[in-house]
Every structure is written in C-alpha cells, then in structure tokens.
Structure 1
Amino acid sequence: MIRMLLASVFAALFAISIAAADTQDVYTIPDLQVDEVAPTLIQAREQAMASARLQGARQLIDKITLSEDRIAAGGVPVDGALANRLSAAVDVQEETAGAGRYKGTLRVVYNPRMVRAHLDGLGVPYVDTQAPLSLMVPLAASADLEEAWREALGPANPGALAPYVTANLAGYSSYSDWNALSPEAGSLRARRAVLAELMGREGAWRVSVSIVTTAGTETIGITLPASTVDGAAAAMVGLLEENWKRASIIRGGERTQAKATVRYTSLAEWNTLRGALARSPLVSDFRTTAVARDGAVVTFAYLGDPQRLQNDLLQRGVALGDEPQAGWVLRSAVSAAGIP
C-alpha cells in the first residue's frame, strides 16, 4: 500500500513538473534584437530592456492566440507598462555596449499567471500548452536544396508552440508513413512526424505540410509564398502553430470528469502515457489513484467531446479506447501498432 501511495505521489509530481517545463518554454521569447542610444550607457541599457519586453510581449500574445479572436475582442494592445507587468525576467544572449549605445540579443521570460489573467480579462481564448514533439522531415526536389532546407529549419525549436527536432537520416519521401519514420522519431522522443516539402523557386518558396502519426497522414496545407528559404521555414512554423491552436483552443464549455485504466508494459511507457495526459491542453486535474506493475487507474477532467480528446491523445502516441468491462482504457498507440 505504501509503495502504491508513493508511486501515486511521484506520478502527480512528474505530471506537474513536465507541464511546468513546457509552460516555461512557451512563455520564453528569445532572439529579441535591440539597439538603443541614450546620453548614458545605463539609460541605453534600460531602454533596450524595455524594448525587448515590448517586442516579446507582442510576439507571445500572437503566439498563443488566434488573430480572429484578438479582432473579436477589439484587439489586444500592448504598451510598455503592460509589457513590464507581464514580464518576469530578461536574459542577455549577446551584447555590445559602450559610449551611450547598447546593442544586443535578449531573451524575455513572461509570467504565465499575469498573461493568462490579462487575456481572460479581455475574453481572448488562448492555448499555452505545446503540441507533441515532432520529427521534422525536410523534403525537396534535389539533395542540395534539401540540405539548404534542413539548415534553414535548424536542429530544433524547443520553445515553439509546435516544437520539433529535425531528422538526420536520409531516404524519406512524401509517402513515408509512421512505420518508416518511427525508428528515428522514437530515438529523438518525438511522438509524431511532420513532412515539410519545399517547393517553388528563389523568391517564391512554398511548403507543403503533413502530419504523420500511427493513425495515418493528415495534410495540413501549403504556406503562402516566401522570398527566402528562411522565410519559408518561418511560414511553415506559423502554419503548424496555427493548426495546433485551432485544434486545441476551446471557447467555453464545461469540463467532464473521467476515469480511465492505463495499461503499459514498462515504467518508461507509463511515464510516456501520463506525460501525454499532463501535456494535453484539453486535460486538467490529472490524478493517479492506483498503480500496479502493468497498469494504473487515473482520473481527470477534459474539455470538449470524447472524439476531440481521442484525437489529441493520438497525436501524442496514446490510444484511447472504450472496453465493455473496463470502461475507458489508455495504452500506447506506438506499442499497439507494433512499433518498439
């Protein structure tokens, strides 16, 4: 009994810690460029910090909300005073200072409670939970172009609303399914994959984007033309984040209480399953009430309908089923598909 109780406590702490880590990533805005001149270096630095807070606050609000929701609320104006209230810390990534001039690259961390309270007060819905980590698969018409495309995407984007790690292996195509992608995805702890095919020419690049999971391949869309490959990468990230927000933002509705049995074959699989529940933007009040060697009983509340919850969890590699005797049962969709 004591062992089961301790396991339940550790499970709850684990879920809280990973959710907090995801939230910190979302509320951190890096790579803010500043260049300020003032009578003294101290004044220039203060102006630069204020500029970074303002830039970052605007980027953060755009990041976690949809444009039509901001418009419906009459806009979400951000001035210096509000940006200062929302921010928690400013970190220096790079700086050059002297003779009354401060130039650098800054990172600003914002206070989730303050940002949420501000958006709630305006009636603007938002999502600040990250999408499942994806294996990003760069595709292009030639090997040289594919390499340039891979470089533009970078190795990873951990702070994005739709984070990814870029594939290192070659040989993938627009027809690659989860069976082909899962070995590398699994090694990088990605629960889904994104096929990002660069098309067009210099000055007019577009990207065709599809998401691959154990359930199959879903076409997300094609980005608007971008003048550079780097611009195409930014447009692709924007499309992924837009897709995630539309799938995850819930406008009103009541939470439904649920109880489920979680079945797993190892401690690692159990950690993955409970982590998926903790990260879902539809799930709250997640609790573990009993733990055994190969299964657990959990309770939680969820927004939306069961089908939406099922789709969200499947994106995270978790299958939700309804069995006659057991009721709701959660198990690894990866294991269920026969993939190690």
Structure 2
Amino acid sequence: MARHYRFFQPITSFVVLLGGLFLFSGIVHADDPLFTVHGVKVDVTAASAVEARTQAFEKAQQDAFKMLAERLLPQDEAAAFVPPPGTVISPMVKDFEITGEQLSRVQYIGTYSFRFKDNAIKAFFADKNVSFTDIRSKPVLILPFLQAGRNVILWGETNPWLGAWGKTDTRQGLVPVQVPIGDLADVSDIKDDEALTYDAARLRNIVGRYGAGEAIIVMAHPKWQDANAAGEPQGLDVMIYRTDTGAPGFVKTLSVAATDKMDAETIFDTAVRMTRQTFQSDWKEKTVVSLDTRSNLKIRVRFASLREWSETQKVLRDIPGVSALRVVRLAPKQAEIELTYGGAPDRLRMALAQSDIILSEPMSGYMPAGGYNTPASAMYDLYMSRPPEPAGMTE
C-alpha cells in the first residue's frame, strides 16, 4: 500500500499545509501535475537498513529534482544540470509518497512520488538565471496506427504499438497524453483504414470524449533485418501527423533503432518514450522563457455578468507566468486590465489557449482610459471561448 507524507524536516522546522485552488465550479483542484514527479526508483545498500533508507531518500529527492529539471529546462541546459544537495531541495518539496518499498538488513529499494512547490521551483531557476517553461499543454489523444505489411491496424491486441502506448504514464510531462481504450464508440469514430482519411466530425467526437485538445496520429512502420518479419522488429520509423487544422498534417519522421532501447524495453516501448520526448522538446521550444523577460499588456475583457467577470479574473491570475493584474476601467459588460506577464505576448497567447481562452492580435491606436491626454497604445481582446461572429455572418 502506498504511503503519503506531508513533508516535515526537523532541521529547518517547517510544515507544509496542503491546499487547492478554487475555480469555476467550486471544485478544489489538485496541485499542478507539471511539478509532480512519479516513479522515482532507488536501490541503496549501506551498513544497515536504516542507513540505507536514509541515503535512499536523499538520492530519491535529487533524482526527482533532476527529472523535474529535464522536464522544464531546454535540452542543453537540462543535460548539464546537476541537482543541488537535499538540504536545498527539501524546502522546495511540498510532500512525497512511497508507492513501493523492500527492505533487508543492509538494502533498501523504494519507489517515490514527489510534489514540488511551483513558486519555489520557479524562484530557484530564476535565481540561477536558467530559462524554463511552466506551461503545460492540453492533453493530446494518441492514435497509434501500425503498418503491418500492406495493412494498417489501430484497434485490437494484434497492435503492439497501441499496447505500448497503453502502458505509458499519462500523468507525466509537459504534454500529457490520452490513449483510447478501443471500445465500440472509438472503433465507430475512426477505423483501421482511416489513418489519413478520417472523418473530421467523428474525430472531434473521440477527441472530445477523452477531454483532449487535439489528436495526434503516430504511424509506426516496423523494420526487420530479413524478409520473414518474425519476432520483434529491429527498428521503427514513426511518422507523426497533427490533426488540429482539419486535415492530417505531417510533422516529422522519428527513426528508432534497437540500440536506443533501455533496460527491459521492447522496441515499441522505446518508440513511445522517444516520441513523447519529441513532444516535450517541441513544446519547450515554443514556451521556454527567462523570468527577466516581461510583457505589460493592455487587455479588454467582455463578460455577461459580474460572476463571469470574477471567474475570469481568477483564471487569469492562475495562468503560468502572470505576475500582476490591474483593473484600469470597469463597465457593466466589459473591463480594461493591465497584465504583467513573464515572456512575449505569443507565449501568453499559448498559455491562455490551454485554458480555452483566446487572446486577439493587438489593435493599434486604441485610446486608453486616460482619454485624449494619454498616448494611444495597443489593446488586446480576450475571449473565454471564441470571438463573437460579426453581424451579418450568421446563416
């Protein structure tokens, strides 16, 4: 049975209180999974079981911090990153959980999960002048098609590529994934032979059913050394397609070789790991920022009621990178605000989109609240869903 611990360290005498964030429906939300690391495995031998366990916890903290850095930092900086000692890491840990452990007289084997304090982590990297990302993508729905000879398959136990994706930890990473279970509704929405000829409306059905932002098609082409095609393939070519523009859009081909395998991975497990790493790297390139980069944006927010206005403010303050929100002018159905944000407007636009908020392109020459004595400046419009259609555009 897993054991959960609120973090307490006698050396620094602090206690972490757990809490949540109150949003639209009054639900208490869990902490951002972006700063939670699961599956940290340690194996330590020492003079005694007690000493082994103490050393194992120290190592688990550092390993978890390294895994978090690899998630948030650009690839070159993550590769060179050396985690600080446990005395530095401990104050940044909110709590931890032991999900499995084995002990002998001199050995301790354990598996941990750590939740880190997001603001403490951001402050740590900012102090080190390290760029990082704190924006997590909406989940993506993975559709793993397998090219089997002249046939392409998606559903069923004869697709080991689908099976490998079914084993992945969907909680981890900047780009969380959803893997379809292949029930009757799934099979009805997209069939084995519809990898690149799917019906857009039915694809939207399956994407919505899994709560994803979009579907990504990952088509695997196995490679064997001989023509018999027996056993596990020696390699895979994975072709990645996006679907968010209505038609399949080719992104890249990822080549996976048997030499890329780690531990007891199959070639399909390795391809899943490398494909997910590709997702993370691409996302980081779009969202990484240094905290010394700041944008001050003037934004017009329209709303139907005071409750909607209140909810909008709560959501905006919770957007990663937003450090200040000031209301400049408030009218019955709209407000003008100034938003201070870490990064460029395009990065803010991407962060808002993960919460289904649309930020328009800037409109120049807008007269701000100060009237004619105040210089004109760019103004952005913000919508909680999509912009209203102009008059005369309805069917």
Alignment of 1:1-340 (within 5 A): 13-14=22-23, 21=30, 23=32, 25-69=33-77, 75-81=80-86, 82-141=88-147, 142-143=152-153, 147-154=159-166, 157-168=170-181, 169-170=186-187, 171=191, 172-176=194-198, 178-201=200-223, 202-213=233-244, 218-227=249-258, 228-251=267-290, 252-262=292-302, 281=320, 283=322, 285=324, 299=337, 300-302=339-341, 306=345, 309-310=348-349, 313=352, 317-321=356-360, 328-333=381-386
Contact 2:196 2:248 in 1 (8 A): no
Identity rate of aligned residues, in percent? 17
User: 2: CA distance between counterparts of 1:279 and 1:214?
Assistant: 28
Greater Cα offset, 195-204 or 160-169: 195-204
Amino acid corresponding to residue 190 of structure 1 in structure 2: A
CA-CA distance at 1:161 after TM superposition: 1.1
SS at match of 2:272: helix
Contact 2:97 2:112 in 1 (8 A): yes
Amino acid corresponding to residue 205 of structure 2 in structure 1: P
Q: Specify whether residues 54 and 103 from structure 1 end up closer, same or farther in structure 2 by C-alpha distance, changes over 3 A only.
A: same
User: 2: CA distance between counterparts of 1:215 and 1:298?
Assistant: 34
CA-CA distance at 1:20 after TM superposition: 7.3
Q: Deviations over 1:152-197 (max 9, x none)?
A: 1127612321012112323151344753321122122212222222
Partner of 2:16: none
Q: Specify whether residues 224 and 313 from structure 1 end up closer, same or farther in structure 2 by C-alpha distance, changes over 3 A only.
A: farther
User: 2: CA distance between counterparts of 1:310 and 1:44?
Assistant: 48
Q: Specify whether residues 34 and 181 from structure 1 end up closer, same or farther in structure 2 by C-alpha distance, changes over 3 A only.
A: same
* Structure of larger gyration radius: 2
SS at match of 2:160: helix
Amino acid corresponding to residue 147 of structure 1 in structure 2: N
Contact 2:298 2:380 in 1 (8 A): no
Q: Where does the alignment leave 5 or more consecutive residues of structure 1 unmatched?
A: 1-11
1 or 2 for the larger relative contact order (CA 8 Å, sep ≥6)? 1
Contact 1:203 1:226 in 2 (8 A): yes
CA-CA distance at 1:253 after TM superposition: 3.5
How many residues align structurally? 315
SS at match of 2:212: coil
| TM-score, length of structure 2 as denominator length | 0.65
Superposition CA RMSD, Å: 4.0
Q: Deviations over 1:67-99 (max 9, x none)?
A: 23457xxx4322433444543433111112232
Q: Specify whether residues 309 and 69 from structure 1 end up closer, same or farther in structure 2 by C-alpha distance, changes over 3 A only.
A: same
Amino acid corresponding to residue 23 of structure 2 in structure 1: F
SS at match of 1:140: strand
Q: Deviations over 1:307-327 (max 9, x none)?
A: 555556556655444699996
Amino acid corresponding to residue 65 of structure 1 in structure 2: L
Contact 1:191 1:316 in 2 (8 A): no
CA-CA distance at 1:19 after TM superposition: 11
Q: Specify whether residues 256 and 229 from structure 1 end up closer, same or farther in structure 2 by C-alpha distance, changes over 3 A only.
A: same
SS at match of 2:237: strand
CA-CA distance at 1:119 after TM superposition: 1.2
User: 2: CA distance between counterparts of 1:19 and 1:260?
Assistant: 29
SS at match of 1:54: helix
User: 2: CA distance between counterparts of 1:247 and 1:323?
Assistant: 20
Query: Higher helix proportion, which one?
Result: 1
User: 1: CA distance between counterparts of 2:314 and 2:143?
Assistant: 24
Partner of 1:6: none
Amino acid corresponding to residue 117 of structure 2 in structure 1: N
SS at match of 1:230: helix
